[in-house]
Chain A
Amino acid sequence: MKKMHHLQIEPGQIGEFVIMPGDPGRCHLIAEHFENPQLIAQSREYVTYTGKYKGLTVSVTSTGMGCPSAAIALEELIMSGAKYLVRLGTTGALQKNINLGDIIIATSAVRLEGTSVEYIPIEFPAIADIDVVDALIRATREKNLKSHTGIIMSHDAFYKGSVFADPDFLKREQVWIDSNVLSVENESSALFTIGYLRKVKVGTILTAVANHLTREVITDEGKINPIFHQMTDICLEAFNNINK
């Protein structure tokens, strides 16, 4: 079998169930939840581990930042046999009632990025797979954790739409705040769009590490990591539920 051009993985080396963080540095943290995790490949921003969870073969592959690299990761994962994929990442909250560390499950995403537009005209909705959304909500409830469920926004230019952007960033984001968009991140809209086109099931679970309205930010990885462990548990239980 030929290796995938960017991910450097082969069909058969990953499971049908894949967790996709943005940061390659978080893959090992997620793989700690697998039984017998094996490092499969490490190439550019793409790190892949495969292991077992309650009998299921599961993998984790990082996407890098942004839809261009995330789209490559998703396409090559699908070519390698992935069927259920969950992006697990961080986000900046756009609503006052979302606190730092809160969990957000996306039903769909605003397509404020360039990649998905190369696939299909902009009027096509970037929506998460409903079975994955349901499974994530259920797994979160079973762990007695709360989540916000709704529309998020995906964009390309961090320094135009983040707490580190120029002072006018909130003016540009006001339209999305007023439209009840929960938060901003960088990958989900392309992942959802491509997932639908390729007939695989894609979802997203995020934690708020900033709030654009209050300008609060968590920068300490030590505070973020425990939430990543929680979200990994949720993902794996969601996969387990889907497989039942």
Chain B
Amino acid sequence: MEQVQYHIRCKKDEVNKAVLLPGDIERADYIGTQFFRDSKKIVENREFHIYNGGYENKPVAVCSTGIGCMSAAVAIEELTNIGCKYFIRVGTCGSLSPEINPGDIIIVTGAVRGDGASKEYVPIEYPAVADYRTITALRNRAKKEGVDYSLGIIRTHDAFYMESPFAFGDYKKRVAIWAEAGVLAIENESSTLFVIGSLRKVQVGAILVAVGNLITGKKGTKDDLQKSINKTITIAAGALVDLQEGKEGKI
């Protein structure tokens, strides 16, 4: 794998092994410049912005995935090709639970495969499950930070304008089956990241902030949401440190 990867434009060992995966390019810039020590921008190509840096004296990285499983799959495949092993998606979602309000944090255990990309990899009955060591590492860091969180299954899908507060027609009806099943929230990347993680034997987890609630219609203020996003970045970066030390510990 000495060759330069087609989309992320870097080669073997150029990106640190433990990687945060936000969707948003600007959030990758924010994490790289505000949370990492001695950070260095490595790549800026399409929706992929990559930084290396240090966190608690461990090497870490961040790479934006863009919106959706298509580009997220490209990012994790190419990062895996060049030697990355630990991945945590840090992102936002829409809550499907009346108990999860804007600004609340979710640690994801598995995802409904409502996306198209993961179906090209393996039949639909295969579970999109987060890595159990990564879940535990995230929970331990959340506990250490004194941060409350919900734990459970989310839904990943492709068509934002079918299932969001901005959607056409009766979006509440479309998501009702998942809300009734106890699915906590909706977002756009986790299911494919989890499936590829299982197939390629790399460890993938996700921690999300609810930015709105599809059932109650509640929305968060920009300041409050940013505070929660900062907490998820701190928890996820800490979890990447613990995972590299093999001390994800126990709950």
A contacts, CB < 8 Å to B: 107-112, 120-127, 130-131, 133-134, 137-138, 149-151, 175-176, 179-181, 189, 196-197, 199
For the A-B complex with A111-B125, A111-B127, A124-B153 known, give 11 more contacts whose Cβ atoms are closer than 8 Å: A110-B123, A122-B124, A123-B112, A125-B110, A125-B127, A125-B129, A175-B122, A175-B123, A179-B199, A189-B125, A196-B181
> CA separation between A199 and B152, bound complex, in Å?
10
Name B123's closest neighbour in chain A (CB-CB).
A175
Contact A125 B182, CB 8 Å, known A134-B250, A175-B122, A180-B201: no
Contact A151 B113, CB 8 Å, known A110-B127, A123-B124, A130-B132: no
Name the residue in A107, A112, A138, A175 with the highest tally of chain B Cβ atoms < 10 Å from its Cβ: A107
- Per-residue A-contact encoding for B91-123, CB less than 8 Å = 1, 0 else: 000000000000000000111111000000011
* Residues in A neighbouring B122, C-beta threshold 8 A: 175, 179
Q: Which of B138-154 contact A (CB under 8 A)?
A: 151-153
Contact between A127 and B125 (Cβ–Cβ < 8 Å)?
Answer: no
B240, CB-defined interface residue at 8 Å: no
* Residues in A neighbouring B110, C-beta threshold 8 A: 108, 125, 127
Name B157's closest neighbour in chain A (CB-CB).
A123
Contact A133 B132, CB 8 Å, known A108-B127, A124-B112, A175-B123: yes
5 A-B residue contacts at CB 8 Å? A134-B251, A138-B250, A151-B126, A151-B129, A151-B198
Contact between A107 and B132 (Cβ–Cβ < 8 Å)?
Answer: yes
Contact between B129 and A123 (Cβ–Cβ < 8 Å)?
Answer: no
B135, CB-defined interface residue at 8 Å: yes
Closest chain-A Cβ to B126's Cβ sits at a distance in Å of: 5
> CA separation between A197 and B112, bound complex, in Å?
13
B128, CB-defined interface residue at 8 Å: yes
Contact A125 B153, CB 8 Å, known A111-B125, A180-B198: yes
B177, CB-defined interface residue at 8 Å: yes
B contacts, CB < 8 Å to A: 109-114, 122-129, 132, 135-136, 151-153, 177, 181-183, 198-199, 201, 250-251
* Residues in A neighbouring B177, C-beta threshold 8 A: 120-121
Contact A130 B153, CB 8 Å, known A124-B112, A151-B127: no
> CA separation between A181 and B201, bound complex, in Å?
11
Partner of A199, one of B113, B114, B127, B182: B182
Name the residue in A120, A122, A124 with the highest tally of chain B Cβ atoms < 10 Å from its Cβ: A124
Closest chain-A Cβ to B30's Cβ sits at a distance in Å of: 29
Partner of A125, one of B112, B123, B135: B112
> CA separation between A120 and B178, bound complex, in Å?
9
Closest chain-A Cβ to B124's Cβ sits at a distance in Å of: 5
Name B129's closest neighbour in chain A (CB-CB).
A108
> CA separation between A124 and B113, bound complex, in Å?
6
> CA separation between A127 and B195, bound complex, in Å?
13
> CA separation between A110 and B152, bound complex, in Å?
18
> CA separation between A201 and B172, bound complex, in Å?
28
* Residues in A neighbouring B126, C-beta threshold 8 A: 110, 151, 176, 179, 181
Contact between A112 and B125 (Cβ–Cβ < 8 Å)?
Answer: yes
Contact between A149 and B125 (Cβ–Cβ < 8 Å)?
Answer: no
Contact between A126 and B127 (Cβ–Cβ < 8 Å)?
Answer: yes
Contact between B181 and A127 (Cβ–Cβ < 8 Å)?
Answer: no
* Residues in A neighbouring B112, C-beta threshold 8 A: 121, 123-125
Name the residue in B112, B126, B151, B250 with the highest tally of chain A Cβ atoms < 10 Å from its Cβ: B126
Contact between B250 and A179 (Cβ–Cβ < 8 Å)?
Answer: no
Contact between A197 and B182 (Cβ–Cβ < 8 Å)?
Answer: yes
Name the residue in B128, B129, B201, B251 with the highest tally of chain A Cβ atoms < 10 Å from its Cβ: B129
Partner of A130, one of B113, B135, B198: B135
Contact between B125 and A134 (Cβ–Cβ < 8 Å)?
Answer: no
Name B139's closest neighbour in chain A (CB-CB).
A130
Closest chain-B Cβ to A89's Cβ sits at a distance in Å of: 19
Closest chain-A Cβ to B77's Cβ sits at a distance in Å of: 15
Closest chain-B Cβ to A161's Cβ sits at a distance in Å of: 13
Contact between B198 and A179 (Cβ–Cβ < 8 Å)?
Answer: yes
> CA separation between A51 and B123, bound complex, in Å?
42
Contact between B198 and A127 (Cβ–Cβ < 8 Å)?
Answer: no
Closest 3 CB pairs of A and B: A125-B110, A108-B129, A108-B127
* Residues in B neighbouring A110, C-beta threshold 8 A: 123, 125-127
Closest chain-A Cβ to B187's Cβ sits at a distance in Å of: 14
Closest chain-A Cβ to B188's Cβ sits at a distance in Å of: 14
Contact A122 B151, CB 8 Å, known A108-B110, A127-B109, A179-B199: no
